[in-house]
């Protein structure tokens, strides 16, 4: 199901870190799926919310075709809350 979703819809990953071997494997597999599916221009965008700036991880995600959204202050809860609030349409 994840494969079908990432090939058809934009994806936002929250709470993932490359320090977990399972997460690295997941993103490695997703990258292979995206490459096998065709042009990078044909696939929907993918993003990852990063609670702390990490230039190495940001570069890895970009290489995998996942755009990092970085909370520059390192305030995890407040940064995520503010980010999600900014994503919510105004009523």
What CATH number is attached to the domain comprising 23?
A: 3.40.50
Q: Which of 13-22, 29-38, 55-64 tops mean pLDDT? A: 55-64
Scanning 9-51, the segments in alpha helix (DSSP H) are 21-37
CA distances from 6 to 9, 34, 74, 82, 86 (A): 6, 8, 28, 25, 23
Band of residue 59 on the pLDDT scale cut at 50, 70, 90: very high
pLDDT, averaged across the chain: 83
pLDDT > 80? residue 60: yes
pLDDT at 55: 93
Q: In total, how many domains does the chain have?
A: 1
pLDDT at position 76 over 70: yes
What is the structure's pLDDT at 68?
94
Q: Which domain holds residue 25?
A: 2-87
E strand or H helix that includes residue 11: strand 11-14
């Amino acid at each position: 199901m994840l494969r079908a979703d990432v090939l058809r819809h934009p994806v936002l990953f929250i709470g993932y870190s490359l320090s977990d071997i399972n997460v690295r494997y997941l993103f490695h597999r997703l990258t292979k799926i995206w490459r096998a599916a065709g042009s990078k221009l044909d696939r929907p965008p993918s993003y990852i919310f990063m609670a702390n700036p990490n230039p190495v991880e940001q570069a890895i995600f970009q290489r995998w075709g996942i755009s990092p959204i970085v909370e520059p202050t390192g305030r995890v809860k407040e940064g995520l809350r503010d980010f999600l609030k900014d994503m919510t349409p105004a009523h």
